[in-house]
Structure 1
Amino acid sequence: MPLTFRRALPDDVAAAVPLIYSSGPAAFDYAFACTTKGNAQDFLRWVFVRGRGQFGYRQHWVGTQDGQVLASGTAQSGEGNLANLLLAASQIIRFYGPLQCWKVLWRGVQLERIIAPPPKRTFYLAHLGVSSASTGQGIGSQLIDFLLQQGRVAGFSRCALDVAASNPRAQALYERLGFALQRENASHLPGIAAHRYLQRPL
Structure 2
Amino acid sequence: MPLTFRRARPDDVDAAIPLIYSSGPDAFDYAFARPGRNSAQDFLRYAFVQGGGQFGWRQHWVGEQDGQVVAAGTVFGGEANLGYLLAATRQILGYFGLGSAGVIRRGLQLEKIICPPPRRTLYLAHLGVTPTLRGEGLGSQLIDHFLQMGRDANLPIAALDVSVANPKAQALYERLGFSVQVERVSTLPGVSSHRYMQRQL
Same fold (TM over 0.5): yes
Corresponding residue for 1:102?
101
Amino acid at match of 1:92: I
Q: What is the TM-score normalised by the length of structure 2? A: 0.98
Gaps of 5+ in 2: none
**Which amino acid in the other structure matches residue 141 of structure 1?**
S
Q: CA RMSD in A?
A: 0.9
2-structure distance, mates of 1:128, 1:81: 19
Q: Is the 8 A contact 1:75 1:125 kept in 2?
A: yes
Q: Which residue of 2 aligns with 1:119?
A: 118
Percent of aligned pairs with the same amino acid: 64
1:176 matched residue in structure 2: 175
Residue 194 of structure 2 is aligned to residue 157 of structure 1: no
Compute the displacement of 1:51 (Å): 1.1
Give the superposition deviation at 1:155.
Answer: 1.7
State the shift of 1:26 in Å. Answer: 0.5
- Does residue 139 in structure 1 map to residue 138 in structure 2? yes
Distance 1:150 1:37 in 2: 39
Letter in 2 for 1:34: R
Report the residue type matching 1:26 in the other structure: D
Q: Indicate the residue corresponding to 1:50 in structure 2.
A: 50
Query: Residue 188 of structure 1: SS of its match in structure 2?
Result: coil
Residue number in structure 2 paired with 1:22 = 22
Q: Deviations over 1:148-199 (max 9, x none)?
A: 0111111211110000011111000000000011000000101111100000
Report the Cα distance in structure 1 between the residues aligned to 2:192 and 2:51, rounded to whole angstroms: 30
User: Quick check: 1:37–1:96 contact (8 Å CA) kept in 2?
Assistant: no
Q: Give the drift of 1:90.
A: 1.3
Aligned to 1:193: 192
Aligned to 2:166: 167
